Amino acid sequence: MLLTTDSVKNSLEILKMMDWIPIVFVTFKFLVLGTGMFFAVKWHYDQGKKDKDKKKEMRAVLRAGGKVAALFVLSLLGLGLLTFVLIRTLGMDLTFL
């Protein structure tokens, strides 16, 4: 099958156009995520202005954040232990050498 000059030109145009697709998509992604983050921060800032009892709220947020962090660490530890037990049960080699 012989390639004509028109098909070669079309292929080159498609390849040149394909070079721009990641640039356009990444730019669009940053614009959308940046806009969303701006409005999320603005909304949280506006909500913070409404509350009068900030210290009580801050304690509750810190307590909830601590609980989430502790839960994450415990689940990570549990997953590691479960993986270790499963690997030992299946008789897999655990050496790195």
Pick 69 or 7 by higher pLDDT. Answer: 69
Residue 27 has pLDDT above 70, yes or no: yes
Residue 19 has pLDDT above 60, yes or no: yes
Rounded mean pLDDT of 38-53?
82
Give CA separation, 58 vs 50, 55, 82, in Å. Answer: 14, 5, 36
Going by C-beta distance under 8 Å and a sequence separation of 6 or more, which residues neighbour residue 54? 48
Question: Would you state the pLDDT for residue 12?
Answer: 74
Confidence of residue 50 (pLDDT cuts 50, 70, 90): confident
State whether residue 92 is helix, strand or coil.
coil
Question: Would you state the pLDDT for residue 15?
Answer: 73
Question: Would you state the pLDDT for residue 97?
Answer: 57
User: Where in the chain are the domains?
Assistant: 1-50, 52-97
> Are 14 and 7 a contacting pair, CB within 8 Å?
no
Phi, psi of 95 (to 5 degrees): -80, 150
State CA 68 to chain mean position distance: 18
